[in-house]
């Protein structure tokens, strides 16, 4: 064991009469709280981002390819699902699924209410995992081999508002060529995603129903929905696919389709940076305060060590080793408490939210090992840099004065 480590462990270790002892405990608690808040803040932010992205993508996709010409809201100008571009997109490395879809605006009428809706028609190869995860009652609609299915799923928000139950018949009306067409649907499933702007509008069913309502043939669809493996590389996928498109096609990403939601998430990033900065300062102030008190308390020891030939650098190391011990204890406690809280929230959803305001009914957390590692390393580095200030006082301590005072 080195000389500095021995002194830090033995001479500065345990002295119940030290004035610095309670301050050291406060420093450990301060660092633990700072680390706890930073880990929770980052974990919750990443949880929000993942949950919101998962829900928005579940309703659609990462990338939508559609006709370059723009139709009315929720009305589309068709493209062919037999175009060679569809097969070329499927061959792109990282593309998980390509599914055709179409939408049609209309309204649902009950005995005493009228509510505007959008019928989203999907094909039999659509990724149904999202709706299965959020299904509260019933099942998903089935595709008939010969005719369009009249089965639909609706949100719990719509079901409650219009007083629909599982198995009820729904009468819907859709405008087409200055006239309207009526369709009768059967509710076979009720889902809930907590995304109010989607749940209040969309009903989901067979794409062939939309094709008939629009007088399209079986090869005409509203667009292609593309799911990719890596959301973080979405701009790269979008750029690559865009270069492959024919002149009459265009694309948009999920971020472009839902700018409000993703702008809100970007705003949360700013808040997280502020929280990380404030908590880093709290940790730095805690360890600097404790070290300054230790240095002032051990002034006579510092003078004695200098008299015996110890250098300023060597004495600095003694107090730095002790400070590392304090920081380490704070990091361990903060990480353990943060992991426990994240696990409990992830498992039992203890902290709830207003789903209408936050688009989810509980606080989501992302338990990621790298969050704990990076926050701990960042806190350790920031605290060690802060120690340069108090250890600078060691060089100003005069051995003659301290010994004479003693």
Q: What integer pLDDT is reported at residue 209 of this predicted model?
A: 94
Match 């050291």 to its residue by tokens: 24
Instruction: Give ∠ CA 321-323-324 in degrees, rounded to 5.
Output: 65
| Max Cα–Cα distance, the chain, nearest Å | 104
Tokens of 176: 């087409």
Beta strands (DSSP E) in 129-233 are 135-138, 151-155, 169-176, 179-191, 202-206, 220-221, 223-228
How far, in Å, CA of 332 to CA of 338, rounded?
Answer: 10
DSSP, res 362: B
C-alpha 348, offset from chain centre = 18
Q: Which residues contact 282 (CB under 8 A, 6 or more apart)?
A: 30, 33, 34
Positions of the chain with pLDDT lower than 70, given as ranges:
1, 3, 9-19, 70-74, 395-396, 398-406
How far, in Å, CA of 1 to CA of 5, rounded?
Answer: 6
Write the pLDDT tens digit of every residue in 152-162.
Answer: 999 999 999 99
Q: What integer pLDDT is reported at residue 335 of this predicted model?
A: 97
User: Residue 121 to residues 124, 136, 152, 175, 381: CA-CA distances in angstroms?
Assistant: 10, 20, 9, 16, 54
Q: What integer pLDDT is reported at residue 307 of this predicted model?
A: 75
Going by their DSSP bridges, the two strands 79-80 and 220-221 should be labelled as: antiparallel
Write the pLDDT tens digit of every residue in 195-247.
Answer: 888 999 999 999 999 999 999 999 999 999 999 999 989 999 999 999 999 99
C-alpha 389, offset from chain centre = 37
Q: What integer pLDDT is reported at residue 97 of this predicted model?
A: 94
Q: What integer pLDDT is reported at residue 17 of this predicted model?
A: 54
Write the pLDDT tens digit of every residue in 359-373.
Answer: 888 999 999 999 999
Q: What integer pLDDT is reported at residue 323 of this predicted model?
A: 87
Q: Which residues contact 396 (CB under 8 A, 6 or more apart)?
A: none
Q: What integer pLDDT is reported at residue 12 of this predicted model?
A: 57
The sign of the CA dihedral 156, 158, 159, 160 is positive
What 3-state class would DSSP assign to 359? coil
């Amino acid at each position: 064991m080195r000389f500095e480590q021995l002194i830090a462990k033995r001479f500065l270790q345990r002295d119940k009469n030290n004035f610095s002892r309670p301050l050291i405990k406060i420093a450990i608690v301060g660092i633990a709280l700072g680390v706890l808040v930073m880990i929770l803040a980052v974990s919750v932010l990443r949880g929000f981002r993942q949950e919101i992205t998962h829900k928005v993508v579940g309703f659609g996709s990462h990338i939508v390819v559609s006709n370059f010409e723009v139709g009315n809201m929720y009305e589309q100008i068709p493209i062919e699902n037999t175009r060679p571009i569809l097969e070329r997109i499927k061959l792109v490395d990282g593309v998980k699924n390509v599914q055709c879809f179409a939408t049609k605006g209309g309204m649902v009428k009950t005995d005493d209410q009228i509510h505007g809706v959008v019928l989203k028609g999907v094909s039999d190869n659509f990724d149904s995992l999202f709706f299965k995860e959020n299904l509260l009652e019933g099942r998903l609609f089935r595709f008939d081999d010969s005719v369009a299915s009249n089965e639909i799923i609706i949100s719990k928000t719509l079901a409650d508002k219009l007083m629909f139950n599982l198995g009820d018949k729904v009468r819907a009306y859709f405008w087409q060529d200055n006239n309207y067409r009526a369709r009768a649907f059967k509710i076979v499933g009720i889902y809930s995603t907590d995304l109010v702007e989607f749940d209040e509008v969309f009903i989901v069913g067979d794409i062939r129903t939309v094709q008939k309502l629009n007088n399209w043939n079986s090869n005409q669809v509203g667009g292609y929905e593309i799911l990719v493996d890596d959301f973080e590389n979405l701009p790269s996928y979008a750029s690559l696919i865009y270069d492959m498109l024919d002149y009459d096609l265009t694309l948009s990403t999920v971020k472009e389709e839902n700018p409000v939601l993703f702008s809100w998430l970007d705003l949360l990033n700013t808040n997280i940076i502020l929280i990380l900065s404030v908590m880093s300062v709290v940790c730095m102030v805690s360890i600097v305060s404790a070290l300054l008190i230790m240095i002032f308390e051990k002034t006579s020891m510092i003078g004695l060590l200098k008299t015996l030939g110890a250098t300023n650098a060597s004495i600095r190391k003694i107090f730095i080793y002790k400070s590392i011990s304090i920081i380490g204890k704070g990091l361990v406690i903060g990480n353990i408490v943060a992991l426990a809280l994240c696990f409990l929230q992830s498992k039992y959803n203890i902290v709830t939210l207003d789903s209408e305001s936050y688009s989810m009914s509980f606080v989501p957390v992302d338990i990621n090992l790298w969050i704990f590692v990076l926050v701990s390393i960042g806190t350790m580095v920031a605290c060690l840099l802060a120690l340069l200030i108090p250890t600078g006082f060691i060089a100003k301590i005069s051995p003659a004065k301290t010994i004479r005072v003693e």
